[in-house]
Amino acid sequence: MPESTRILESQYFYEDPFSSVVPPIYLSVAYRYVDDEESVRDDRGEVVKYSREENPTLRPLERAVAALEGADDGLAFNSGMSAIATTLMAFMRRGLRALTIKEMYSTTIQLLEELVAMVGGELVKVYPSTEAILEEQKGRKYDLVVMEVMTNPTLKVIDVSEVGKVAAEAGAALIVDNTFTTPILVKPLRSGASAVIHSSTKYLSGHNDVMGGVAAANEELVEVIWEWRRRLGTAQQPLEAYLTYRGLKTLPLRFEKQSRTAMALAEFLRDNSKVKSVNYPGLPDDPHHSVATRLFDRQLYGGVLSFTLREGPDAAKKFLKSLRLAKVAPSLGGTETLVTLPALTAASNISPEDRKALGIEDSLVRVAVGLEDPEDLIEDFARALSSIS
Among all residues, which ones are annotated catalytic?
52, 105, 177, 202
The two beta strands, 275-279 and 338-340, are: unpaired
First-last CA distance in the chain: 52
Residue 365 CB: number of other CB atoms within 10 A?
24
Smallest Cα–Cα separation from 358: which of 131, 154, 130, 135? 154
Q: How far apart are CA 303 and CA 263, in angstroms?
A: 8
- Residues 6 or more apart whose CB falls under 8 angstroms from that of 252 comprise 2, 3, 4, 7, 184
Smallest Cα–Cα separation from 381: which of 322, 333, 328? 322
Instruction: Say how many CA atoms lie within 13 Å of 234 toward its Cβ.
Output: 24
| Omega cis (within 30) before 153 | yes
**What DSSP string runs through 210-269?**
---EEEEE-HHHHHHHHHHHHHHT-BPPHHHHHHHHHHHTTHHHHHHHHHHHHHHHHHHH
Residue 33 CB: number of other CB atoms within 10 A?
13
Q: How far apart are CA 375 and CA 381, in angstroms?
A: 10
Q: How far apart are CA 101 and CA 39, in angstroms?
A: 45
Q: How far apart are CA 147 and CA 137, in angstroms?
A: 14
Classify the C-alpha dihedral 281-287-288-294 as positive or negative: positive
In the chain, what is the greatest distance between 2 CA atoms, to the nearest angstrom?
74
